[in-house]
Structure 1
Amino acid sequence: MVFSRRALLGAFSLVQLVLAGSPYSNGTYGSNRVTVQSRLNQLALSPDFKITDKPTTRTYDWTISKQIGAADGFYREMLVVNGQYPGPTIEANEGDTIIVNVKNKIPRVGTSVHWHGIFQEGTQWMDGPAGVTQCPIPSGGSFTYKFKIEKQYGTYWWHAHAGSQLSDGVHGALIVHSVNDPLKRGEHYDYDQIIIQSDWYHNTSEQIVRALDTPQGYQGSQAAPPPVTALFNGYGTFNCTRFGTPETCFTREPYELQVYANKRYRMRLINTASHAMIFHSVDEHTLDVIEADDTPVSSPGLKDLHRVGSHNGQRYSYILKTDKGKPGDAYWMRANISTSCLAYITDEFNQVYKGIIRYVDEDKNYKATTHLPTTKDWKDELDNTCRDLDSADLVPIVRDDPPAVVHQVGTFGTRVGTLSTTQGNVTRFYFNNITFNHLWYQPVLYDVVDGRGVNNTNVASLAYNEPTGADIIINNLDSNPKIDHPYHLHGMEFWIVGEGVGNITEHDYRQLKLNTTNPIRRDTHLIEGGHWSVIRIKADNPGVWFLHCHIDWHLAHGFAAVVVVQPDVVKKFQIPKESRELCRQIPDGLNASSTALGRRAASTPRLYNLPRSLGQ
């Protein structure tokens, strides 16, 4: 097979078409009724939420379970929180304490939850990735996450961080307000709306990863598989006429967001996809980007954009000015999956998912029209790449320069390769020639706390001993074939102080003129294949912090390392007994060295057809 460029308004402020609590369908999946529901009102942030500097405690009760849903109209097993997709929204203020009581009702396997972008200062063991900072919550078990949100605000999200359960539906938004946020409702925008962009598969993550772990691969390839479609807030479209039957799927109405004319909507884009790089646009409406991950930004290069591209884990907020239409007008909102990021596509692949932006009258007695839009996409050619917005254009509004001098530097080189198994060669990804070995019941953090240190046979690592500025050089060595990767660092944000083509040594690095004047701060950064980046951190949050590619299928193939900050301090951590207890609840047949989350079910991926190459 020849592969392409990469181998491998809500209840208060706006009206949303589908009623909160409505099930995906009345259809059936075998003998099981479709039970996954939508709660779209949770994605329109209320103006009644009080933004204050007086902290409070917010408590949530979650149950993660396996249910039948149909995000794009195709019935499949999903993993969901409280029976809904997307999952519950957490909305808080800077300084609040968050308590989430999690019950795991997934049959057979463990789970965990990560709070993407939250620093976890003082609660490093609550960060969430199984095998790194905790053991999985066992099937039938429960665990309470408790952490305080300090010194940060903006758009975040949460998701499962055990196996690839994120792709099965365990994710949602986490929004932190602050009196210190320069972006203010009423001054910069009128309404606040979450748009969770995702990609969607018709097989479970367990089926996909199990197939990828064989020489035959999934869909005949060991490359990261393409999704079937993109989703807006849990809604997508599948061609049931061509690929389905009444027993397997139904044609779903498109996602619809109803807006008032001549208003400013803050659209918080959260890319929760497992693989897809998504270009977001609204026909005939330009977009002004105001936030990158959790950093408020502004520059001429962020104004009047036709499209905003985002990669897995990234967030962008933009202002949608509803000054193009009148009540009754409708426009397509598009999620265009970049095929340049995919190794191959299948016949069922839907590159562009279209939702609806519909203008309505503020008169509550007004009945909205229901016709589909007839608008066209922007005429300029889509830059079909894996690149999101240029870092140079992302100028923080609140200046926060990185440390001008660093005394610690380390280098990671990442690449794709193969691993020889008894069945044959399988794909793996490597940090410094080490592929991450998921020992779910032997967290790396615990190894360091207990004095064993990092086992560099299982995971590559860099250690930063002093609470000063430090640099991490990342060389993405995947240049031929070119594979671009979104790198996410837990536990902190970083400054992007340098980028370039090729790869560099520490000697080369010392000759560079790095940008230390208000560079962009992020927690998820795309590095193109055959390129390097230098990210700068303050090594002042002791812990064992996961650094990994946020393409789920690459992570499943070992694309991860850890950054150990102040290991001597970490050794003095007192990990709560409740966290330790999880590591004593190992499923029957497994042990502390097991690389499985639980007993696997006997199931086979459903494949419509073999992939077709995208060509060079």
Structure 2
Amino acid sequence: MFSEKPTRREKSSKRNIVIAGVILVVLALAPSLGLGQGSQPWNDASRFLLSKTFPIIETPTTRYYNWELSQSTISPDGLARPMLLVNGMFPGPLIEANTGDRIVVNVTNNMDSGTAIHWHGIHQKGTPWMDGTMGVTQCAIPPGQSMIYNYTITNQWGTYWWHAHAASQYVDGIFGPLIVHSPDEPHLKKYDEDIIMMLQDYYHTPSDPLVNWYHSPKSGGSDPLPDNGLINGRNSFNCSKAAQAQFPTNTKCTDGEPLATFNFKAGSTYRIRLINTGAFADFQFSIDGHTLTVIEADGVDMQPVPVQRLPIHVAQRYSVLVHANETVGNYYVRATINTNCFFGSNRALDPFVKAVIHYENAPVAQSFDSTDWTAASMAPSCVDLALDMLHPYNVQPAPTADVSHLIKFTMKPSSDGILLGYANDRSWSPLMTNATLFQSQMGLTSFDATQQVVVLDKNVIELVLINDDIGPHPFHFHGYTFSVLGWGNGTYVPGQTPLEVRNPLRRDTITIPQRGWTVVRFVNDNPGLWTLHCHMDWHMEVGLLIQFESWPDRIRGLEIPSEITAMCGA
């Protein structure tokens, strides 16, 4: 007889099972221990005012959450439609943590389709299988089953968010804020209150039929257009316009739903964390009579810059300081949908999305006189804030590139008239019963062409991103924050087109202009499979995504928990 010694993978699997068992016990006790998020009304606006008593400290802790994903009919703007909820909430629960904290989220899928949760902007160093991208870093959590996401936030702080990364589920409600604090934040002492404002273009039709329409010759390549916009899941809708929508609906509708309201105290300073959680539209954000001072973009501290109006594209985040120094009264928050970017129109849409700033001791009101900033400050094109306006607070020169990859993106119809997104003339299609990370970890060196995998095996990578499409595209990079050396319309000429290398903007989501270019660089220090994709959900659904395999040899040494890979066979 021979002695059967457990392999490294078997040892790892047993260890993971023990750890998972301990976590499940703690999660089961979480409500009684005051941990995590319990059930609340589906839209309780107070959830997005961060607590003054949250301890911002260096000592790390573990934060536990129990989430149940389900479907229910609700009316965020007065018109009833089925939505996807997390713990009965829309938007979903807040995660608030400090740098160094461990986040443990037990996600139970009570929906009728598989799902995955992506932690948008969190680098997942050492845990790429927790990135939550279906077909890339995991298989879907099957209906009726659970998955424990377990990761540590390392050397990051700022404004992030989480959302479903399976099909178009986040468009239907599976998203929420993720805020990370640190005592090292340079702007920490500059504000008295901390408020989250999530901006969202909103559709009265569930996303599945919209995707099916878009992915058919019927659409003619035109994007589904929103019916409304929401701020923290709230707005009012003119019910008489429901029949005029791009996709008419006749469900129950109530006029005059209340706007989201934020309370100000005269003399205080507020940090407002803006997150565009939408599917397609960019917003022009402003507050009547109040200057916005930008201090953060996508988790990177910025040198303060005052603006009257701030463009924010899909998946981007900003923090702005707002001083409550105006006459006591009520003022409109304006998140205006920039319809200049639309090809077509939706007669049901009122693009002027609003919320209310209510000063303490002012009359309570939803309708009042409040003057917008001049129309001249509204950007006619859908581009980001000018690069020469945003400078990282901590100066960091761009690294010298070891290799440059040219990636051309476009949208064009296939031979059967269906619009597809292409990166270097190939269109991505998600794996349904496997993940490219698992394939790489097992030693696969040649992927199916639909997976769009580019190998990164140099220390510093430059990406020259060319947009051959007639519209702009906000691209988000998983696993990294990149340096943005430049962008513009027309042709980029290496070695001739000027680039900013002294202290370039750093972020994880950048808008590539129409018929334009963007150049980014990053230090390749995070082994894993990472996607770069347009965050306009309709575009990702038709394949506008590319994957980067960072250090394949190191990926093969990863010990991916067996309970993660086991979902592929469920």
Report the TM-score, using the length of structure 1 for normalisation.
Answer: 0.83
Give the structure 2 partner of residue 112 of structure 1.
Answer: 116
Cα deviation for residue 461 of structure 1 reads: 2.9
Matched, 1:266 2:266: no
Give the structure 2 partner of residue 509 of structure 1.
Answer: 494
SS of the aligned residue for 1:216 comes to helix
- Runs of at least 4 residues off by over 6 Å: none
Paired residues for 1:348-367 under 5 Å:
348-361=348-361
Paired residues for 1:387-402 under 5 Å:
387-402=383-398
Cα deviation for residue 462 of structure 1 reads: 2.3
Greater mean alpha carbon deviation, residues 469-478 or residues 266-275 = 469-478
Contact 2:40/2:89 (8 A) holds in 1: no
Matched, 1:317 2:305: no
User: What do the CA deviations read for 1:287-341 (whole angstroms, capped 9, x no partner)?
Assistant: 1111111111125xx21x2211100000011111111122xx1111111000112
Paired residues for 1:260-339 under 5 Å:
260-299=265-304, 302-303=305-306, 305-326=307-328, 329-339=329-339
Give me the whole-angstrom Cα distance separating, in 2, the residues matched to 1:235 and 1:255: 6
Correspondence for 2:146 among 142, 147, 150: 142
SS of the aligned residue for 1:45 comes to coil
Give me the whole-angstrom Cα distance separating, in 2, the residues matched to 1:267 and 1:499: 27
User: What do the CA deviations read for 1:424-467 (whole angstroms, capped 9, x no partner)?
Assistant: 3100010000100112222111221122235251132322213x
Paired residues for 1:18-57 under 5 Å:
37-57=42-62
Paired residues for 1:215-254 under 5 Å:
215-217=217-219, 221-243=220-242, 248-251=252-255, 252-254=257-259
SS of the aligned residue for 1:290 comes to strand
Give the structure 1 partner of residue 246 of structure 2.
Answer: none
User: What do the CA deviations read for 1:82-105 (whole angstroms, capped 9, x no partner)?
Assistant: 010110000000000000000001
Give the structure 2 partner of residue 465 of structure 1.
Answer: 457
Cα deviation for residue 371 of structure 1 reads: 5.4
Give me the whole-angstrom Cα distance separating, in 1, the residues matched to 2:187 and 2:543: 38
Residue type of the partner of 2:528?
A: G
Residue type of the partner of 1:241?
A: S
Give me the whole-angstrom Cα distance separating, in 1, the residues matched to 2:147 and 2:195: 31
Greater mean alpha carbon deviation, residues 546-555 or residues 249-258 = 249-258
Q: Which has the higher contact order (CA 8 A, sep 6+)?
A: 1
Give the structure 1 partner of residue 15 of structure 2.
Answer: none
Give the structure 1 partner of residue 438 of structure 2.
Answer: 446
Paired residues for 1:477-492 under 5 Å:
477-478=468-469, 482-492=470-480
Give me the whole-angstrom Cα distance separating, in 1, the residues matched to 2:40 and 2:52: 24
Give the structure 2 partner of residue 121 of structure 1.
Answer: 125
Change (3 A) 1:500 1:261: same
Cα deviation for residue 511 of structure 1 reads: 4.5
SS of the aligned residue for 2:340 comes to helix
SS of the aligned residue for 2:57 comes to coil
SS of the aligned residue for 1:129 comes to coil
Greater mean alpha carbon deviation, residues 526-535 or residues 450-459 = 450-459
Change (3 A) 1:512 1:462: farther
Correspondence for 1:204 among 191, 203, 206: 206
SS of the aligned residue for 1:458 comes to helix
Residue type of the partner of 2:141?
A: I
Give the structure 1 partner of residue 423 of structure 2.
Answer: 431
Q: Unaligned regions of 5+ residues in structure 2, if any?
A: 1-37, 244-248
Contact 2:407/2:465 (8 A) holds in 1: yes
Give the structure 2 partner of residue 556 of structure 1.
Answer: 541
Correspondence for 2:484 among 471, 477, 496: 496
Higher helix fraction (1 or 2):
2
Give the structure 1 partner of residue 25 of structure 2.
Answer: none
Change (3 A) 1:542 1:253: same
Give the structure 2 partner of residue 364 of structure 1.
Answer: none
Residue type of the partner of 1:315?
A: R
Give the structure 2 partner of residue 521 of structure 1.
Answer: 506
User: What do the CA deviations read for 1:6-31 (whole angstroms, capped 9, x no partner)?
Assistant: xxxxxxxxxxxxxx9885xxxxxxxx
Give me the whole-angstrom Cα distance separating, in 1, the residues matched to 2:271 and 2:550: 36
SS of the aligned residue for 1:344 comes to coil
Change (3 A) 1:212 1:247: closer
User: What do the CA deviations read for 1:180-214 (whole angstroms, capped 9, x no partner)?
Assistant: 11111xx3111100001111001111111112222
Change (3 A) 1:243 1:500: closer
Cα deviation for residue 515 of structure 1 reads: 2.1
Cα deviation for residue 532 of structure 1 reads: 1.0
Taking only aligned residues, the RMSD between alpha carbons, in angstroms, comes to 1.7
Cα deviation for residue 398 of structure 1 reads: 1.4
SS of the aligned residue for 1:284 comes to coil
Contact 2:100/2:154 (8 A) holds in 1: yes
Give me the whole-angstrom Cα distance separating, in 1, the residues matched to 2:105 and 2:366: 42
Give the structure 2 partner of residue 415 of structure 1.
Answer: 410
Change (3 A) 1:454 1:121: farther
Give me the whole-angstrom Cα distance separating, in 2, the residues matched to 1:262 and 1:21: 35
Change (3 A) 1:148 1:387: same
Give the structure 2 partner of residue 9 of structure 1.
Answer: none
Give me the whole-angstrom Cα distance separating, in 2, the residues matched to 1:279 and 1:512: 29
Q: Unaligned regions of 5+ residues in structure 1, if any?
A: 1-19, 24-36, 362-366, 586-616
Report the TM-score, using the length of structure 2 for normalisation.
Answer: 0.89
Give the structure 2 partner of residue 384 of structure 1.
Answer: 380
Change (3 A) 1:582 1:503: farther
Change (3 A) 1:371 1:62: closer
Cα deviation for residue 510 of structure 1 reads: 4.1
Cα deviation for residue 80 of structure 1 reads: 1.2
Give the structure 2 partner of residue 11 of structure 1.
Answer: none
Contact 1:85/1:234 (8 A) holds in 2: yes
Greater mean alpha carbon deviation, residues 135-144 or residues 373-382 = 373-382
Give me the whole-angstrom Cα distance separating, in 1, the residues matched to 2:324 and 2:532: 39
Contact 1:279/1:335 (8 A) holds in 2: yes
Give the structure 1 partner of residue 30 of structure 2.
Answer: none
Give the structure 1 partner of residue 157 of structure 2.
Answer: 153
Change (3 A) 1:41 1:459: same
Matched, 1:82 2:70: no
Matched, 1:167 2:180: no
Contact 2:411/2:421 (8 A) holds in 1: yes
Contact 1:477/1:503 (8 A) holds in 2: no
